[in-house]
Amino acid sequence: MREEVPERFWSKVQRTEDCWPWKASTDGRGYGHFMLPTGTSQGRLVKAHRFAWELTFGSIPNGLCVLHRCDNPSCVRPDHLFLGTLGDNARDMVAKGRFVMPKQPHGEQHSQARLTESNVHLIRRTYELRNMTMQVLARQYKVGLTTVFDVLHRKTWTHF
């Protein structure tokens, strides 16, 4: 590795009493990016915290992640970093309260919804009263028979 690479890397770090935040480019989740020269004009983009580990402790064994004790994605302070598996990373997220299932669009907010909540309520109510068959309901609401079946059996529209 060329001698100027570590100097260029550490020049992009703000060393404080606690975390050492990366001050150059980051991704959407706050992890730092560093362009590592490869002898070509493009170079190779690496995660800053992983490169900080490699500069300080050596290579990262295959299959291991570099995790943050401080839970700060922009931190590259070596003593705030540790190695772990993907499972360790998942357990660490849960332990630190960062694991939140992304809210999936459902009901009318779903991009492929063909029915409204009002339609679903009417389909269920009408079918309960035995006023119409599933085939008639499907034709009336211009949806497939499977859609009506899934609504009635609460395979879809389960949130109400």
When pLDDT is cut at 50, 70 and 90, the band that residue 8 belongs to is very high
> ∠ CA(7), CA(9), CA(11), 5° rounding?
70
The answer to whether the beta carbons of residues 147 and 138 sit under 8 Å apart is: yes
The whole-model pTM stands at 0.61
Q: What are the backbone angles phi and psi of residue 118, rounded to the nearest 5°?
A: -60, -45
**pLDDT for the residue numbered 130:** 83
Average pLDDT taken over every residue of the chain: 90
The pLDDT tens digits for 43-90 are: 889 999 999 999 999 999 999 999 999 999 999 999 999 999 999 998
Tokens of 11: 């020049």
The answer to whether the beta carbons of residues 97 and 53 sit under 8 Å apart is: no
The pLDDT tens digits for 93-104 are: 888 887 766 677
Structural domains of the chain in order of their starting residue, each with its CATH number: 4-95 (3.90.75.20), 107-152 (no CATH)
Question: What is the residue type of 145?
Answer: L
